Structure 1
Amino acid sequence: MNILKRLYAKYKHGIPLAIYMIIYLSWFAWLESTNIKNYQVIHVTLDDYIPFWEVFVVPYFLWFAYVAAVVVFLFFKNRQEYYKCCVFLFTGMTIFLIISTLWPNGHHLRPAVMPRDNVFTQAVSFLWKVDTPTNLWPSIHVYNSMGAHFAVMRCTALKGRKGIKFASGILCVSIILSTMLLKQHSVFDVATAIALGSVMYTFVYRREAALAAGKMRRGMKKRISM
C-alpha cells in the first residue's frame, strides 16, 4: 500500500493527461463517424499547385512517436514543463474538436488514383483507409508538432543539446510539409494551425519569459540605485 501511495504521489500528474486523452479520442471517433457526408469543403487556390509526394508519409507517421516522446520525456524530467506542454496541446486540440463539431469540414484533395506504386504509396493508401478526409481544421498534426518543438526548445534538461533541438526542428518542419504533400490537409488548415500555435506560444511561454526578464531588470535597477 505504501508503494502505491508513493507511486501515486510521484506520478499523479499523469492522471489529467489520461482523462483528457479518453475524452479527446472518444470525441474524435464520434466526429469521424458522423461528419462523413455533410461538411464544408476547405480549399484554397494554392492547394492545386502543391504536388503529391508520398515519401513524406514517413515524417507524417513519425508525428505519433514525436509528440508522445516529448510528453513522456517531460513527464519524467520536469513536471512544470510537462504541464506547460499539456496546456499548449490540450488547448489547441479542444479548439479543433469544437470547430469540427460546430462546423464540420473536409476536403477533396486526394487523387482518385495513386500516381505510382511503391512502399510509400501503399503506406499512404493504408493511411487514407483509416483516416477520413474530414475534421481537418486546424491541422492537429501541424499544431501539436509546433507544441512538441516548442517544448524541446524550452526544455531545461536539453539546454545546450543543439543536435537534439536541430533534429526536432527538422522533424517539425517535415511533418508540417507532409500534411500538404500527402494531401491530408489544405494550406488553409496548415496556416491557421501555425497562427494558433504562434498565439499559444505567446500565452504559454513568452509571457513567463517576459515577466522573468522584467523582474531581472527591476532587480538590476534596485542594485544600481543602492
Structure 2
Amino acid sequence: MEKIKGLYLKYRHAVPLAIYMVIYLTWFAWLEGRNRRDYTVIHVGMDDYIPFCEAFVVPYLLWFAYVSLVVVFLFFKNKQEYYRCCTFLFTGMTVFLIISTLWPNGHHLRLDEMPRDNVFTQAISVLWKVDTPTNLWPSIHVYNSMGAHFAVMRCSALREKKGIRIASGVLALSIILSTVFIKQHSVFDVATALGLGTVMYILVYRRDLVLAAWAQRRMKKRVSM
C-alpha cells in the first residue's frame, strides 16, 4: 500500500491529463456525431492553388506520436515544463471545442477521386473514412505541433540537444504543411491556429513580456495623471 501511495504522489500530475483527455475525447466524439450537413463551409481563395501531395500523409500521421512523446518526456523529466506544455495544449483544444460547438464548420476540399493509387493515397482514403471534414477551425494539428515544438525549445534538458531541436522544428513544419497538402484543412484553419499559438506562446512561455507591457502601461498612466 505504501508503494502504491508513493507512486501516486510521484506521478499524480498525470491525473489532470487523464481527466482532460476523457472530457476532450467525449466532447469531440459528440461533435463528430452531430448533423454533418448543417455547418458553415470554410474556404479561402488560396485553397484552390495548393496541390494535392499524398506523401504528406506521413508527417500528418506522425503528429500523434510527436505530441504524445513530447508530453510523456516532460511528464517524467520536468513537472513544471510538463504543466506549461499541458496548459498550452489544453487551452487551444478547449477553444477549438467551444468554437466547433457554437459554430459548426467544415470544408469541401477533399478530392472526389484519388489521382493515383499508392500506399499514401490508400492511407489518406482510410483517414478520410474515419475523420469527417467537419470541426476544423482552428487546426489542432497545427496548434498542437506548435505547442510540442515550443515545449522542446523551452525544455532545459534539451537545451544542448541541437539535433533534436532541429528535428522537432522540421517535423512541426512538415505537419503544418501536411494539413493543407492532403486537404485536411483550409489555409484559414492553419492561419488562425498559427495566430492562436503565437498568442498562447507569449502567455505561457513569455509572461515576462506580458508583465513588462502591463508595468509600462501603468507607468504611463501615472505619468499622465
Q: Do they fold alike, i.e. is TM over 0.5?
A: yes
How far does the alpha carbon of each residue in 1:145-195 deviate from its partner, in whole angstroms, 9 at most, with x for none?
Answer: 000000000000101111000000000000000000000000000000000
Report which stretch shifted further, 199-208 or 149-158.
Answer: 199-208
What does 1:190-205 correspond to in 2, within 5 Å?
A: 190-205=190-205
> Which aligned segments of 4 or more residues in structure 1 are displaced greater than 4 angstroms?
208-212
What does 1:8-23 correspond to in 2, within 5 Å?
A: 8-23=8-23
Identity %: 75
CA change 1:130–1:49 in 2 (3 A) is: same
What does 1:28-39 correspond to in 2, within 5 Å?
A: 28-39=28-39
* Alignment correspondent of 2:151: 151
SS at match of 1:120: helix
Matched, 1:180 2:197: no
CA displacement at 1:37 relative to structure 2? 1.0
Aligned amino acid, residue 105 of structure 1 = N
What does 1:1-226 correspond to in 2, within 5 Å?
A: 1-208=1-208
Unpaired stretches in structure 1, ≥5 consecutive residues: 213-226
CA displacement at 1:35 relative to structure 2? 4.2
Unpaired stretches in structure 2, ≥5 consecutive residues: 213-225
Cα RMSD (Å): 1.2
Distance of 1:74 and 1:136 partners within structure 2: 28
SS at match of 2:36: coil
CA displacement at 1:132 relative to structure 2? 0.2
* Alignment correspondent of 1:216: none
How far does the alpha carbon of each residue in 1:19-71 deviate from its partner, in whole angstroms, 9 at most, with x for none?
Answer: 00000000000000004110000000000000000000000000000000000
The answer (yes or no) to whether the contact 2:203–2:210 under 8 Å persists in 1 is no
Q: Which TM-score applies when normalising by structure 1?
A: 0.92
* Alignment correspondent of 2:219: none
CA displacement at 1:80 relative to structure 2? 0.2
Q: Which TM-score applies when normalising by structure 2?
A: 0.92
The answer (yes or no) to whether the contact 2:106–2:135 under 8 Å persists in 1 is yes
